[in-house]
Amino acid sequence: MKYDIAVLGSINMDVVVEAPKYPDYGDTLFCDSIAMTPGGKGANQAVTVARLGKKISLIGAVGKDNAGNQLLKNLQNQGVDITNVLEIDDKGSGTFVAIVDETGENTMVGTKGANDYITEEDVERALGNIESTILLLQMETSKESILAAMKIAKQRGMFVILDPAPAGGIFEEAFQYADLILPNQQETEKITGIKVTDEKTALEAAKKINGFGIQNVIVKMGAQGSLVYQNGESTLVDSIKVDAVDTVGAGDCYAGAIACEFLDSNDLVQAAKFASVAAGIKVSRTGGHDSIPTLNDMKVYS
């Protein structure tokens, strides 16, 4: 079946804790609220693609549990094709706890659950049923699923976008199959050893990543914008100015928006501008998938 974009990635139930500050080690802290919301990097990216008007197929896995049922229903309601989402009998659905402080920054801990049990054969079967221009993926599923998807996509001439997140899941073997990589500051430092603090250090890091064989690099710097590096040239793209209240899922929204706009324009700088707007809208809102912008939301900033 034909799709605009295919996503391989995690599907999680997020427990989002809003707190006045991040607790000190050993502290007990009263929080402002606790909510369970559908998340996972793959699901967030897939929902972003759907809300921005593209036809999307998600390859992933949930457990055969109550959380898995809720996650699948939410994806369907958001317009994501879940034909290639597995339900794994003896594994629970991925679950993460995010603590969001008064600045909107989040710190997360969790388990990958079913996400870590997607096999090479599962990916081969799924991609055998998918015709797509772009493959978008992160590093929150099993290593074998990531490598299998990237290899197949390259063989079929798909444009492969790697969001190397979370930092703890990064492995260099995947880099050779990526056409574009989108690390944030933490991930960039993990990959290169370079601490990104400004445009100069972002460019230094982008050049080093390019040296690994990745042709196109976008280093994300949060409120400082993003640096696009391609063909030996760099462009700084500003972020939009908003009051950030919740950064959970912002990077995933950025990645999904990059894929959508690049599909239309074939222009990475334009795609980065579009994605900066999408991520800016996302961080200005609280909530889960319903806080991801739609095309109508984006038109306000065009």
Contact at 8 Å (CB) between 101 and 72? Answer: no
Q: Tokens 């967030």 correspond to what residue?
A: 44
Helix crossing, 120-127 with 143-155: angle to 10°?
30
Q: Tokens 């049922």 correspond to what residue?
A: 69
For residue 284, the tally of other CB atoms under 10 A from its CB is: 18
pLDDT tens, 247-258? Answer: 888 999 999 999
Give the pLDDT confidence score for residue 302 in this predicted structure: 61
Give the pLDDT confidence score for residue 30 in this predicted structure: 94
- Whether residue 250 is annotated as binding a ligand: the answer is no
DSSP H stretches of helix in the chain: 41-51, 66-77, 120-127, 143-155, 185-192, 199-210, 250-265, 268-283, 295-299
- Whether residue 248 is annotated as binding a ligand: the answer is yes
| Given 252, 264, 267, 290, the catalytic residue | 252
- Whether residue 150 is annotated as binding a ligand: the answer is no
Kindly report whether the global pTM for this prediction surpasses the value 0.85: yes
- Whether residue 140 is annotated as binding a ligand: the answer is yes
Give the pLDDT confidence score for residue 43 in this predicted structure: 97
Coil vs helix vs strand at 209 = helix
Output phi, psi for 209, to 5 deg.
-65, -40
Give the residue ranges of the chain where pLDDT is below 70. 302
- Whether residue 179 is annotated as binding a ligand: the answer is no
- Whether residue 94 is annotated as binding a ligand: the answer is no
Spatial separation of the C-alpha atoms in residues 118 and 121, rounded to whole Å: 8
Give the pLDDT confidence score for residue 246 in this predicted structure: 80
Question: What tokens does 255 get?
Answer: 């990645």
Give the pLDDT confidence score for residue 106 in this predicted structure: 81
Spatial separation of the C-alpha atoms in residues 50 and 5, rounded to whole Å: 10
- Whether residue 222 is annotated as binding a ligand: the answer is yes
Contact at 8 Å (CB) between 229 and 203? Answer: yes
- Whether residue 156 is annotated as binding a ligand: the answer is no
Does 122 qualify as catalytic in the annotation? no
Instruction: Tell me which CATH code domain 2-21+32-299 carries.
Output: 3.40.1190.20
- Whether residue 252 is annotated as binding a ligand: the answer is yes
Beta-carbon contacts of residue 158 (< 8 Å; ≥ 6 apart)? 6, 132, 133, 134, 135
